[in-house]
Copies of this chain bind each other. A is one copy, B any other.
Amino acid sequence: MRKTRLELARIQASRQAIDPLFLDSPLYPCVGLGADLGCAVSLKIETVNPVRSFKARGTEIIASLLAASGQNAVVCASAGNLGQALAWSGRGRGLDVTVVASRSAPAVKLERIRALGAGLVLVDGDYDMACERAAAISRERGIRRVEDSVDVETCDGAATIGLELAAAAGQLDVVLVALGTGALASGVGYAVKSLAPEVEVICVQPQGAPAMTRSWHARRVITTDSTDTIADGVAGRVPNPDALADLLVVADDAVLVAEASIIEGMRLLRDHAGLVVEPSAALGVAAVLEDRDRFAGKRVATVVCGSNVDMDAYHRWVGTAGTLVAPADGRGTRGR
């Protein structure tokens, strides 16, 4: 494998810095979902922990390093989940945490950041605007700024998920992973390709926020002017060149999916696994829905990466009808 910013030994060692609450998350076959999708589906569940997303794996590493070096404050921009995770990890280590987020981020994410004791700064604009403000606060106050996918620890944290997936590689053909800034995808991808190169790593992004996917295919950074997707957790416009460089090494493909497929993926995860997830967490299922032939009969794992979603929005998107079921007579019926 060509060189990336990631290193296997460092990732393996980083597990020591992460509270076991966030490690060794469930990975199991979801039989009903697989039957619906025409392949064997395993779910890697990153939502049953105190911050309801995978992000704490990275913030645990960062907060440990900061506390060990005697620092007492930190700032990050966040689409919502990184902020919660940094608030959790910082609180446990006596760090003063400031989170910058878009005023339009899901209310539930903003509430939970506040509930975990972080200072919350809201900007009129999107995630990339929040990044600019976080950079300014970092300069003014002389404190460390955590940047998703730019700080390699955020990739290392995600890569510990990849270690756990690689341990089950004998039962897997494909890993599907959400693509936003690239931290999750490059981390998971690096660990999987390092330990189980035969397993295919496919990144999935919404059509409405395609900057990183377009960049991956063009092999150079391509930015977009705006985003238009319900998957707020992966809605960036400005890919980081280092994250792209890593992703070019570790990903086998990057695909885009429609909003309707994301919503159907959320519904399937609710009905087959009892999980209310945020849109980003359904990207993997959406990818299978859009290209069933590609995955037919394969053993597919997807990372269910977060469940911080406003319930009103969730119900507006997913509704209350059950998953389409095909009974023996062949007529599809919604709801049982």
A residues with a Cβ closer than 8 A to B are 21, 24-26, 28-32, 35, 43, 45, 47-50, 52, 107-108, 111-112, 115-116, 270-271, 273-277, 307-312, 315, 320, 322-323, 335-336
Q: How far is the CB of A97 from chain B (nearest CB, A)?
A: 15
Query: Which of A30, A32, A43, A277 has the largest number of chain B CB atoms within 10 A?
Result: A32
What is the CA–CA distance of A153 and B46 in the complex, to the nearest angstrom? Answer: 31
Picked from B24, B48, B320, the residue with its CB within 8 Å of the CB of A28 is B48
Residues of B within 8 A of A115 (CB): 31-32, 35
Identify which of A115, A308, A315 gathers the most chain B CB atoms within 10 Å of its CB: A315
Closest residue of chain B to A312 (Cβ to Cβ) is B335
CB distance from A196 to the nearest CB of B (A): 19
CB pairs A–B below 8 angstroms (12 shown): A28-B50, A47-B274, A48-B48, A270-B311, A271-B311, A274-B275, A274-B277, A274-B309, A275-B276, A311-B335, A311-B336, A312-B335
Min CB distance A156 to B, Å, is 22
The one of B26, B107, B111 in contact with A26, judged by C-beta atoms closer than 8 angstroms, is B26
Return chain B residues, CB-CB under 8 Å to A30.
50
How far, in angstroms, from A111 to B308 measured CA to CA in the complex?
A: 30
Rounded to whole Å, the gap between the CB of A277 and the closest CB of chain B is: 7
In angstroms, Cα B45 to Cα A28, docked, is: 14
Q: Do residues A25 and B26 form an inter-chain contact, with CB atoms below 8 A?
A: yes
Compute how far the CA of A323 lies from the CA of B312 in the bound complex, rounded to whole angstroms: 10
For A312, the chain B residues whose CB sits under 8 A away are: 320, 322, 335-336
- Known: A274-B276, A312-B335; 11 extra A-B contacts, CB below 8 A, are A26-B49, A28-B50, A30-B50, A31-B112, A52-B273, A108-B336, A111-B336, A310-B322, A310-B336, A311-B320, A312-B336
- With the chains together, A26 CA to B47 CA distance in Å? 10
Residue of B26, B35, B52, B322 near A274 (CB, 8 A) is B52
Q: Name the B residues within 8 Å of A43 (CB-CB).
A: 48
A323 vs B311: C-alpha distance in the bound complex, in angstroms?
9
CB closest chain-B residue, reference A306? B274
Q: In the assembly, what is the distance between CA of A31 and CA of B315, in Å?
A: 23
